[in-house]
Amino acid sequence: MKNQARTLNRVTDVAKAPAQVIALNIPRAPRARSRWLRPLLQRLIPACCGLLLLLFIWQLASVSGKGFPTPFATWQAAVTLFADPFYNNGPNDQGIGWNIVASLQRVAIGFSLAALVGIPAGFLIGRFSFVARMFNPIIALLRPVSPLAWLPIGLLLFQRAEPASSWTIFICSIWPMVINTAEGVQRIPQDYLNVARVLQLSESTVMRRILFPAVLPAVLTGMRLSMGIAWLVIVAAEMLTGGLGIGFWIWNEWNNLNVENILIAIGVIGVVGLLLEQALMLLARRFSWDR
């Protein structure tokens, strides 16, 4: 009887105990680890499955296609290639590192010129209806033109391959900046502009204090799209103009029948383009109103 009474008293005490005390006695899995481990696995597992599928298709293509290298052979060529990526044996024999640097320099020049022209033009088109009606037909006409169609114009204007490549990047990457900036200006609430009109602010003050901070996320989105186009165009332009650059390097490797190096260059182009786009996406999120 005494033992039963003690057991009953213990059950009663547990029932009366706060829920927090009971919870402290229950072993729990560490929450901090599960907070980052599960999202990480949810991203890594599908990515690894996609990579394995790509390697499987690649292996099948190398077995069925004559002369197409296997993933392992391409990996061995990549190890040899990146053992010394910055060697320099003359103008026509330089490492892949120098070719990437040369392409990035051309992209930087063309992209910077497009930003200097396209962003102010987008502000003017979005701010003034007369300017919009004047330039919208021109933009609609020139924007769908293929990038390679602009290259002969650049060669004719500049008489040299180097500025012609930058010109092609400039004319092809300017349109997303113009369009996104103009749309961002047009979406600004009219109340902001009414307040500026009541305060009798100058047009430069309106641009600097009201329009630019509100339109900055749209501007960065246009820059991200333009960067992808610029990196896409430079490879095709360098194939035609020659000289130092990743595009000409691919064409030269094709002439030498080094298919492994061509596949390596495709991977390098994808990685560099992805890094450039991710950098601009992080910058856009930094200044986004929705973050």
pLDDT in tens, 54-86: 888 888 888 887 778 888 888 998 998 898 888
Compute the mean pLDDT over every residue in the chain, rounded to the nearest whole number.
81
For helices 246-255 and 259-286, angle between their N-to-C axes, nearest 10 degrees: 160
* Residue whose C-alpha is closest to residue 232's, from 180, 279, 272, 280: 272
Q: What is the CATH number assigned to the segment(s) 85-286?
A: 1.10.3720.10
Q: Where are the domains of the chain?
A: 85-286
Q: Residue 289 — pLDDT band, cuts 50, 70, 90? A: low
Q: Please tell me whether residue 2 adopts helix, strand or coil conformation.
A: helix
Model pLDDT for residues 138-181, shown as the tens digit of each residue: 999 998 888 888 888 888 888 888 888 889 999 999 999 999 99
Q: Which amino acid is at 258?
A: N
Residue 88 CB partners (closer than 8 Å, separation 6+): 94, 95, 98
Q: What is the pLDDT of residues 236-286, one digit of tens each?
A: 888 888 778 898 899 888 888 888 999 999 999 999 988 988 888 887 777
On whether the pTM is more than 0.95, the answer is no
- Token code pair at residue 19: 């829920």
- DSSP secondary structure string, 7-37? HHHHHHHHHHS-HHHHHHHS----HHHHHHH
